[in-house]
A and B are shown apart, each in its own frame.
Chain A
Amino acid sequence: MVIGVGNPLRGDDGVGPAAVEAMRGRVPDGTVLAVSDGEPARMLDLWRGADTVVVVEALRARPSRPGELHTLTAADAAARTAGTASTHALGLGECLALAEALDQLPPSLVVHAMEVADVELGARLSEAVRSALPGLVDRVAASVRQAYERNHER
């Protein structure tokens, strides 16, 4: 299962959903493509029963290098919680930490994240993010391929 987390109406935050959109038609049968706002109850519901989950997400860094890609384990991501971010929802870090506390993490989960520049309302993907998108999609596709091969070896 591939889950693109983000809000396409907030500029670069739409990078996760955009990557999932780009995966359409490129994944083997049995792969579920989903888009989510990342709210924990929804995420836990979404991946229930899935053996491999690939999460695609926007990441902020200071100082920022927009377009740079990061691949994180669930534990890496859970350690990167928002801290003082102001949000109307909990971030992916809290979501993964909560799933872990409740033993609801999928057997295999990887996060592919891209550093983003601009999350203004209504903006489109920035140039840096747009040009790095194919690289992100390749990483996601590789994760899907590996999971597929693993499952077929069984």
Chain B
Amino acid sequence: MNHRGTRVLRLDALARVEGEAALHLRVEGDTVVETRLRIYEPPRFFEAFLTGRGHTEPPDITARICGICPVAYQMSACQAIENASGVTVDGPLAELRRLLYCGEWIESHTLHIYLLHAPDFLGRADVVELARDQRAAVERGLRLKQAGNAIVQQLGGRPIHPVNVRIGGFYRTPSPDELRPLAERLRQARDDALETVRWVAAFDFPDAVCDHDLFALRHPGRYAVDIGTPVVMAAADHGRAPHPIPLTDFEQHVREEQVPHSTALTATLDGRRYLTGPLARYAINGQWLHPVAAEVAGEAGLGDPATGAICDNPFRSIVVRAIEVVQAVEEALRIIDGYEPPPRPAVDVPPRRGVGVGATEAPRGLLYHRYALTEDGTLTEARIVPPTAQNQTAIEEDVRRAVQARLDRPGPAADDEELTRLCERAIRNHDPCISCSAHFLDVTVERS
């Protein structure tokens, strides 16, 4: 390698960065007075990019916002456009969409659990170090993730940025014979997924409590993935019936503000700090888990979601993610076993003047899209509210509490490096759509 003097060469994924993060922490004496997370997010760029495009284009364009959850963007986009056109996609096409989405949940959660989150709990710098002494576990994680990849590749037409998705359904739908090998793979994945729950449940979890309002889609009878009405479970009501917010009123309740330190917008729900994602979904939808997932949740010590048990320790979100992987595998198997090919790969979605809204549960949380169309289908406005922007305030509060708890502990004071690691962990608990590499955060600690 020719260094020619002192040039630093880095082969990294900077260019595949879905966002970049910096955290500013201000400590006065031994009190944390400010935590400011600065996130760069691409959705704003895409909103501008979509204006003037045709109504068939959002699924393909928004799929490129995030390399980890393209399906989430496609599904929310399809829903919003179909809503504007007054079209409902149901039956086998809706089931296929849900199957595709399950593939993405398996992929995304498994990537986070094994490659990014588990090393935190096992005192390893990163997954490479983990692979050297827990090889079987890392191999299991890769195998499980690849089962999710296989679903996305089969239905999406290719492994990244699925091209087979369109408004109204798909360009091509699979034959039952084509889905059969997936089912075989998923039966192996079921064992791997159950093993994953047992593996992570045995980790050592720091004490922490989050008391954010919880926000997730709800569709009685099924664990929400691709459909549902947004509901809020206020922090004081944890475990009690949540109240619905019609999707058409979403933007009156979820207010996004541009904060000076970030290009991301910071969201509040009815003026309050709130959280979306696995912990919220589990609290709101836990009673509808597949029996196998519910049973293993009990084994993992999460309590019985059917009786209103919730998980409020953000560090234990890794356990909830693992249970959601079991849920996604069981759902995928159920869909494949009952699959009857639809009569046509897609229904017509004619353009129509109007506004459409859509929301689905991306692995990281609720993802909202709104589009305004002219009568020929030209987009005059696009609005995308991703889960990471919604969770920013909650993440900052979690970071504040984690750092404060450390400062309050007797014994030697924490240096900046220790605080940085701690902040990274508090952020990584929420799997935000930003840096997930082992040490991603540029932390400035200002002490006075």
Contacts and interface: CB of A to CB of B under 8 A. Distances in A.
* Residue from B110, B132, B159 having most chain A Cβ neighbours under 10 A: B159
B439 interface: yes
Given A13-B15, A39-B111, A63-B7, 9 more contacts: A37-B67, A59-B9, A81-B11, A86-B14, A87-B440, A91-B12, A93-B10, A94-B438, A113-B11
B159 A36 contact: yes
Given A39-B111, A40-B115, A113-B11, A88 B131 contact: no
Interface string B122-139: 000011100110010011
A85 B111 contact: no
A72 B405 CA distance: 46
Contacts of A62: 7-8, 10
Closest 8 A/B residue pairs (Cβ): A13-B15, A86-B435, A82-B12, A88-B18, A91-B12, A119-B15, A101-B131, A91-B13
A107 to B, nearest CB: 20
Contacts of B442: 84, 86
B148 to A, nearest CB: 9
Contact of B10 (A39, A83, A122): A83
B21 interface: yes
Interface in A2-16: 6-7, 9-13
A86 B160 contact: no
Contact of A85 (B17, B49, B126, B127): B17
A93 B160 CA distance: 20
Contacts of B11: 57, 59-60, 72, 77, 80-82, 91-93, 111, 113
B11 to A, nearest CB: 4
Interface of A: 6-7, 9-13, 35-42, 44-46, 57-63, 70, 72, 76-77, 80-94, 97-98, 101-102, 111, 113, 115-116, 119, 121-122
20 contacts: A7-B16, A9-B64, A13-B16, A41-B110, A41-B145, A44-B142, A60-B11, A72-B1, A82-B437, A83-B10, A83-B12, A86-B435, A88-B18, A89-B13, A89-B436, A90-B13, A90-B115, A98-B131, A102-B135, A102-B139
Contact of A84 (B128, B433, B436, B440): B440
A77 B1 CA distance: 10
Contact of B128 (A46, A86, A97): A97
B385 to A, nearest CB: 18
Interface string B419-441: 00000000000000111111111
A70 B2 CA distance: 9
A59 B437 contact: no
Contacts of B131: 98, 101-102
Nearest to A35: B160
B19 interface: yes
A46 B145 CA distance: 13
